[in-house]
């Protein structure tokens, strides 16, 4: 009782301070504005593919609400959990400078927001221009709990490209008729491949190539001659995608909320966790054109092979027009197109937006990233290859989630939650892309790799042939990193480092290394906290393809992680 009263008084106090913050910000003419969002996590009845199901969404919207910010703004998002599942929200790509507590991955930086609880996520959006997204970061809930984050330059700061007539978000997603949390749990139980999705979606809609989906397809209306900014997000769980619009060229101007040199392409390659902003000029005959996304596959894995589509409709085109024209897309398995696309991206590196690629390295890391097989518990039958269980790992460590968050354990000196021995190099070197080692079993552990504040880190992510070669989109929390090089085969520092682009490489938060190859990334570790790094294919994360960096505090308040915010979820 006393606790309840104390809680509600404190909640009132938070509201009062919030209101005063909001009031104060309206008098400021500079960039520092606080924007408040109220996210109510609820069940919503949604019909797709002739099926109706109850899914978890925010404020009765699927996909969820778009968060708008200008660079430099503070965001305060109150997330209230009104569903049975535990929930956390991650602000994907946001650097969270000194706000690691608000990053969101469950059991890494926080315990879940449990049923009936609320938590105020509070952070500043600094150093980003373009599109990011938010999504649940617990189990597979992000299948339905996601939305865009649109970050505009401060007032009076122009875009470094043609001012578009209008802007639209294009959220690519993945739909299951069943309950995604049950599907994940069932796959972990059997050790086999999880049930594949029933559809891919554009802004939540599969489009006319799927049953019962024609009427609700997303339509984008354009006026001939005008130019539009499309903010494309891959929020799918388990699939890299190719995206194109019939007869229209797309000019990439940003990726992962960082400006790029303009790059004209017919098809975008977007891995889960990545965003690509493009300019689209409506320069074709008045009519209807399909925009379509299809799977981009680099390993033999099952997927639904029906394109998700939406319609680009010119003003003046008859809505009863003949069937829209379909785009010409590369083949699903055209991995050389994908590698070429990624290699063509360059950061803008202009006078106003210079690149600051680390030129010297303090920590040199090589992480093998791939699949494994684990023994089947006795008395059980497992559905992985050879009757075993599928697993995955980084440097042979298959990540085990702890019962309380690593950040909490670190901050409060709670022992027995994690260890600090995540290896800098593969524990047993082998021919990574050659014949697989005879023992495909990983080690299991909750290990972090400790980094001194301010270190320049180089990390090479190396594919392995264990089970199958594949391309994995690896996402790092808390930082953007420069993608300085990529190649096929085993990384060889002697010959490969000389090919690195240390001038204008793209700055990203998620990178897909080539199948049977490697990618090299660099960043300055100047943000203290516990930062998750994981494959953004959710099924691979379920199997253990993740780890965390523990970046130590530096000197003084500006380099030290503050205490957790009030009302931090406990477990």
Ligand X SMILES: *[C@@H]1O[C@H](CO)[C@@H](O)[C@H](O)[C@H]1NC(C)=O
Judged by the rule CB under 5 A, the positions of this chain that interact with Cu ion are: 472, 535, 537, 540
Cβ proximity to Cu ion: between 86 and 335 the closer is 335
Residue 489 CB, nearest distance to ligand X (Å)? 17
Residue 395 CB, nearest distance to ligand X (Å)? 8
Spell out where 203-352 has E strands.
Answer: 219-222, 227-234, 240-245, 250-255, 258-265, 267-270, 275-281, 288-296, 308-314
**Pick from 17, 61, 425, 428: which binds ligand X (CB under 6 A)?**
428
Cβ proximity to ligand X: between 281 and 393 the closer is 393
β-partners of residue 313 are 221, 288
Cβ proximity to Cu ion: between 73 and 463 the closer is 463
Nearest residue to the partner ligand X, using Cβ: 571
Site for ligand X in 367-406 (CB under 6 A): 396
Q: Six-digit token pair at 184?
A: 């994940």
Cβ proximity to Cu ion: between 90 and 540 the closer is 540
Does the protein bind ligand X through residue 562 (CB under 6 A)?
A: no
Cβ proximity to Cu ion: between 307 and 544 the closer is 544
Site for ligand X in 82-101 (CB under 6 A): 86
Taking contact as CB under 6 A, which single stretch among the options 62-70, 72-80, 107-115, 489-497 is the one that binds ligand X?
107-115
Residue 474 CB, nearest distance to Cu ion (Å)? 8
Does the protein bind ligand X through residue 413 (CB under 6 A)?
A: yes
3-state secondary structure of 11: helix
Contact between residue 431 and residue 476 where contact means Cβ atoms under 8 Å apart = no
Q: CA dihedral in degrees (474, 479, 480, 486; nearest 10)?
A: -40
Site for ligand X in 306-365 (CB under 6 A): 306, 331, 333, 335
Which does residue 112 bind out of ligand X, Cu ion, none, counting CB within 5 to 8 angstroms by kind?
ligand X
Q: Six-digit token pair at 138?
A: 């617990």
Distance CA 174, CA 183 (A): 14
Cβ proximity to ligand X: between 40 and 211 the closer is 211
Residue 439 CB, nearest distance to Cu ion (Å)? 21
Cβ proximity to ligand X: between 181 and 497 the closer is 181
Burial of 261 (0-12, 13-18, 19+ CB in 10 A): middle
Residue 219 CB, nearest distance to ligand X (Å)? 20
Strand order in the sheet with 308-314: 219-222, 308-314, 288-296, 240-245, 267-270
Which does residue 306 bind out of Cu ion, ligand X, none, counting CB within 5 to 8 angstroms by kind?
ligand X
Residue 253 CB, nearest distance to ligand X (Å)? 29
Residue 178 CB, nearest distance to ligand X (Å)? 15
Q: What is the DSSP string of 316-363?
A: T--TTPSPPBPPP---TT-HHHHHHHHHH--B---SSS------S-SE
Distance CA 49, CA 366 (A): 44
Cβ proximity to Cu ion: between 341 and 513 the closer is 513
Bridge pairing between strands 51-58 and 34-48: antiparallel
Cβ proximity to ligand X: between 225 and 427 the closer is 427
Choose among 538, 542, 526: nearest CA to 100: 526
Which does residue 365 bind out of ligand X, Cu ion, none, counting CB within 5 to 8 angstroms by kind?
none
Does the protein bind ligand X through residue 285 (CB under 6 A)?
A: no
Residue 542 CB, nearest distance to Cu ion (Å)? 10
Which does residue 44 bind out of ligand X, Cu ion, none, counting CB within 5 to 8 angstroms by kind?
none
Give the x-and-dash track for 203-242 against ligand X (CB under 6 A). -------xx-------------------------------
Choose among 210, 264, 192: nearest CA to 543: 192
Choose among 29, 41, 113, 39: nearest CA to 75: 39
Residue 470 CB, nearest distance to Cu ion (Å)? 7
Cβ proximity to ligand X: between 19 and 212 the closer is 212
Cβ proximity to Cu ion: between 233 and 535 the closer is 535
Q: Six-digit token pair at 156?
A: 């009076």
Distance CA 369, CA 533 (A): 12
Does the protein bind ligand X through residue 468 (CB under 6 A)?
A: no
Q: Which residues of 65-104 are buried (b: 16+ CB within 10 A; e: fewer)?
A: bbbebbbbbbbbbbbbbebebbbbbbbbbbbbbbbbbbbb
- 180 phi and psi, to 5 degrees? -65, -30
Cβ proximity to ligand X: between 274 and 396 the closer is 396
164 membership: H or E segment, kind and range? none
Q: Six-digit token pair at 72?
A: 């430099």
Taking contact as CB under 6 A, which single stretch among the options 267-275, 376-384, 435-443, 531-539 is the one that binds ligand X?
435-443
Residue 368 CB, nearest distance to ligand X (Å)? 8
Number of residues that bind ligand X (CB under 6 A): 21
Taking contact as CB under 6 A, which single stretch among the options 106-114, 166-174, 488-496, 547-555 is the one that binds ligand X?
106-114
410 membership: H or E segment, kind and range? helix 406-411
Distance CA 85, CA 112 (A): 9
Which does residue 472 bind out of ligand X, Cu ion, none, counting CB within 5 to 8 angstroms by kind?
Cu ion
3-state secondary structure of 496: helix
Cβ proximity to ligand X: between 25 and 42 the closer is 42
Bridge pairing between strands 529-535 and 473-476: antiparallel
Which residues contribute to the site for ligand X (CB under 6 A)? 86, 111-112, 114, 210-211, 306, 331, 333, 335, 396, 412-413, 427-428, 437, 439, 441-443, 571
């Amino acid at each position: 009782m006393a606790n309840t009263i104390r809680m509600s008084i404190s909640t009132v106090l938070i509201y009062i301070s919030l209101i005063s913050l909001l009031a104060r910000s309206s008098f400021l003419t500079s960039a520092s504005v606080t924007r408040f969002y109220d996210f109510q996590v609820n069940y919503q009845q949604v019909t797709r593919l002739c099926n109706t199901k109850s899914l978890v969404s925010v404020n009765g919207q699927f996909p969820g609400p778009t968060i708008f910010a200008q660079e430099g703004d503070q965001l305060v998002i109150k997330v209230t959990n009104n569903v049975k599942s535990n929930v956390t929200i991650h602000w994907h790509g946001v650097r969270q400078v000194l706000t690691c507590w608000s990053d969101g991955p469950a059991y890494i930086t926080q315990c879940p927001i449990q049923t009936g609880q609320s938590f105020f996520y509070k952070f500043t959006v600094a150093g980003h221009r373009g599109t990011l997204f938010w999504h649940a970061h617990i189990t597979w809930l992000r299948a339905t709990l996601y939305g865009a984050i649109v970050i505009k330059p401060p007032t009076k700061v122009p875009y470094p490209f043609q001012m578009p007539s209008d802007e639209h978000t294009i959220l690519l997603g993945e739909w299951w008729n069943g309950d995604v949390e049950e599907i994940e749990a069932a796959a972990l139980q059997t050790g086999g491949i999880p049930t594949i999705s029933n559809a891919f979606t554009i802004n939540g809609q599969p489009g006319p190539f799927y049953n019962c989906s024609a009427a609700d397809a997303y339509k984008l209306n354009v006026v001939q001659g005008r130019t539009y900014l499309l903010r494309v997000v891959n929020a799918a769980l388990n699939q890299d995608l190719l995206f194109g619009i019939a007869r229209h060229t797309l000019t990439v101007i940003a990726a992962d909320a960082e400006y790029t040199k303009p790059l004209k392409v017919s098809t975008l390659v977007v891995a889960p966790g990545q965003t690509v902003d493009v300019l689209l000029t409506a320069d074709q005959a008045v009519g209807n054109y399909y925009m379509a996304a299809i799977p981009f596959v680099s390993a033999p894995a099952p997927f639904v092979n029906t394109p998700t589509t939406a319609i680009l409709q010119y003003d003046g085109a008859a809505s009863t027009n003949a069937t829209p024209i379909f785009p010409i897309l590369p083949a699903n398995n055209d991995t050389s197109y994908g590698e070429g696309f990624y290699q063509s991206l360059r950061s803008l590196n202009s006078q106003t937006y210079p690149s600051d690629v680390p030129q010297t390295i303090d920590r040199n890391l090589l992480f093998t990233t791939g699949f494994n097989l684990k023994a089947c518990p006795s008395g059980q039958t497992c559905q992985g290859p050879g009757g075993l269980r599928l697993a995955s790992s980084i440097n042979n460590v298959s990540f085990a989630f702890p019962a309380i968050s690593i950040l909490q354990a670190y901050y409060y000196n709670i022992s027995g939650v994690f260890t600090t021995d995540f290896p800098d190099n593969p524990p047993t070197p082998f021919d990574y892309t050659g014949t697989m080692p005879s023992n495909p079993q990983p080690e299991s552990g909750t290990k972090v790799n400790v980094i001194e504040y301010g270190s320049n880190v180089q990390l090479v992510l190396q594919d392995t042939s264990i089970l199958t070669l594949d391309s994995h989109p690896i996402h790092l929390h808390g930082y953007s990193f420069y993608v300085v090089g990529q190649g096929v085969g085993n990384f060889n520092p002697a010959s490969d480092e000389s090919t690195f682009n240390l001038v204008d490489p793209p700055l990203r938060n998620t990178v897909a290394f080539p199948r049977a190859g490697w990618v090299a990334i660099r960043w300055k570790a100047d943000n203290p906290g516990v930062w998750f790094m994981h494959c953004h294919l959710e099924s691979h994360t379920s199997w253990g393809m993740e780890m965390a960096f523990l970046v130590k505090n530096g000197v003084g308040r500006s380099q030290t992680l503050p205490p957790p915010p009030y009302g931090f979820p406990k477990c």
